Amino acid sequence: MKRPSLPVNTPLVDRLPPETRVQRRRLRACHECDWISALPPLGSGEKASCPRCSHVLVKRHRYPAQRSMALAIAALIALIVAVSFPFVSFNVSGVGNRIELSQTATTLIAFHQPVVAIIVIMTIAVLPAVYLLSVIWLQFGLLHGKPLAFSRDIARSLAHLTPWMMADVFIIGALVSLIKVAGMAEIDLGISFWAFCVFAILLLMTTQSIDADWMWFSLEGEPLAPEGTQTGMTASRQDLTGCPTCGLINAFSRGRKSRCIRCHEKLHHRLPFSLQRTWALLGAATIMYIPANVYPIMTTTSLGHSGSSTIIGGVVQLMQMGSWPVAAVIFIASVIVPVGKLLALSWLCIAVQRSGRPNTISRTKLYRITEFIGRWSMVDVFVVAILVALIRAGSLMSITPGPAALAFSSVVVLTMLAAMTFDPRLIWDAPETKASTPDNRHSGSH
């Protein structure tokens, strides 16, 4: 079936995908297994995956610049509404409180939890706002046929910001918080709550709408791959490496610092000291996980009586209240996910040093799952932030954060960094390659 052509008045950046503007094959080195393959011509909604590990190399969108810019503008408007109106309020026995979105962070500062407050406000509002403004800046220039100043640097930062935006996780935390309070007080959802729900959805749609391949081609073109580049083999065997940001294949000289000739991102044959850094971060996360579970994550005061609860204690309390679904969410996010991530990454670090390439597909899938689920552990931290800000009725009812909040936030951040520092290409490297490659001597343990 023939695809309908785009209208002639469509901006050039949206009308002509990269495949129609070049007469040569466009090559890519997979970020997860290092396999070099050629990109096929793609239509709207189609994607190209690595033939070796099935990692998605490129996903094509219809009207990429217009789509992402429109979604970014809508998401930014929803965020402005969300921070401008009341978020939620509660009332119990004629005493109540009403909070705005920003108070979920600022209240933590009053309880001497500035680090947790910074993490909360950065992940739910500041970083998403920066991301959306960056998308608007980039696509506005591309739609007018002339990229604006700093476009390359801004485009390079988009991929680095994405993992740290947690508006969708915050919504789950808000729902858990409201379910916990609903049995004790009357809850009223403000305009801000619904606006933030819309914002979280639009933010997710914006990140999914970014066609990085098309964007980088429109910004900087696409220099030729180094002469003699062959498909059907790894980049490392040809002294090449794929840029982790824009995807361009670059020549690589071991022992020398290199940057991508298109986006200027730092290039590595393999991430230096990958395994050592991953082990160090996992060790730190394991140490922090002990106080995160031993110390109380929050203290509840009701009718003058105070009681502290740990993460596990909170789960048990929810089960006793009959809130089994909520208890399951907290248990999975706060116990299963962190522990599972620590064990999975530890096993991967051991596995890449042991054998050749059996079970490489399953190990790669495990890495992808580990990388994806890490941020969802922030649910419990967001629950504490919301309840501390909302439940402030003096001796009648109030909630204060415990020392475990900072420890658990550290666990989430450290495990996310551990997943980022682990180089999945090591899973596919043969033992003899690891032993003979200078960069891998820095990536493995002694």
Residue 9's pLDDT is 56
What's the average model confidence in pLDDT over 63-75? 93
CA angle centred on 225, ends 220 and 226, rounded to 5°: 130
Is residue 229's pLDDT more than 60? yes
Residue 418's pLDDT is 95
Per the listing, tokens 């950065």 go with: 122
Residue 330 lies in a domain: no
What's the average model confidence in pLDDT over 244-268? 86
Per mean pLDDT, which range of 4-13, 67-76, 143-152, 326-335 is the poorest?
Answer: 4-13
Cα–Cα distance for residue pair 214/164, rounded to 1 Å? 24
Residue 227 lies in a domain: yes
Residue 430's pLDDT is 60
Residue 25 lies in a domain: yes
Please name which of 211, 222, 215, 214 lies closest in space to residue 262, comparing C-alpha atoms: 222
Query: What are the pLDDT digits (tens) for 261-289?
Result: 999 999 888 888 999 999 999 999 999 99
Residue 18 lies in a domain: yes
Confidence of residue 304 (pLDDT cuts 50, 70, 90): low
Confidence of residue 414 (pLDDT cuts 50, 70, 90): very high
Q: What share of the chain is helix, strand, coil (3-state, %, to 5)?
A: 55, 15, 30
Query: What are the pLDDT digits (tens) for 367-408?
Result: 999 998 888 989 989 999 998 888 876 666 788 898 999 999
Residue 435's pLDDT is 39
| H-helix segments, 34-63 | none
Residue 23's pLDDT is 67
Our measurement of the distance from residue 20's CA atom to the centroid of its chain's CA atoms, rounded to an integer in Å, reads 32
Q: What is the CA radius of gyration of the chain?
A: 24
Our measurement of the distance from residue 367's CA atom to the centroid of its chain's CA atoms, rounded to an integer in Å, reads 14
- Do 296 and 370 touch, CB atoms closer than 8 A? no
Residue 236 lies in a domain: yes
Residue 444's pLDDT is 40
Residue 432's pLDDT is 41
Q: Using CB atoms within 10 A of its CB, is residue 2 exposed (0-12), middle (13-18) or buried (19+)?
A: exposed
Total structural domains within the chain: 1
Residue 433's pLDDT is 46
Is residue 118's pLDDT more than 90? yes
Per mean pLDDT, which range of 2-11, 15-24, 116-125 is the poorest?
Answer: 2-11
What's the average model confidence in pLDDT over 118-141? 95
Residue 355's pLDDT is 60
Query: What are the pLDDT digits (tens) for 10-34?
Result: 666 776 778 777 767 889 999 999 9
> Can you list the positions of beta strands (E) in 131-195?
186-189
Per mean pLDDT, which range of 91-100, 148-157, 222-231 is the poorest?
Answer: 91-100
Residue 149 lies in a domain: no
Per mean pLDDT, which range of 72-76, 255-259, 351-355, 394-398 is the poorest?
Answer: 394-398
% of the chain beyond a pLDDT of 90: 47
Name the residue range of residue 260's domain. 12-63+221-267
Confidence of residue 5 (pLDDT cuts 50, 70, 90): very low
What's the average model confidence in pLDDT over 36-62? 89
Residue 225 lies in a domain: yes
CA dihedral 251, 255, 257, 259 (to 10 degrees): 20
Looking at residue 331, its amino acid is: F
Query: What are the pLDDT digits (tens) for 307-366?
Result: 778 888 888 877 877 778 888 888 888 899 999 999 999 999 998 887 655 688 999 999
What's the average model confidence in pLDDT over 62-77? 93
Residue 37 lies in a domain: yes
Residue 12's pLDDT is 66
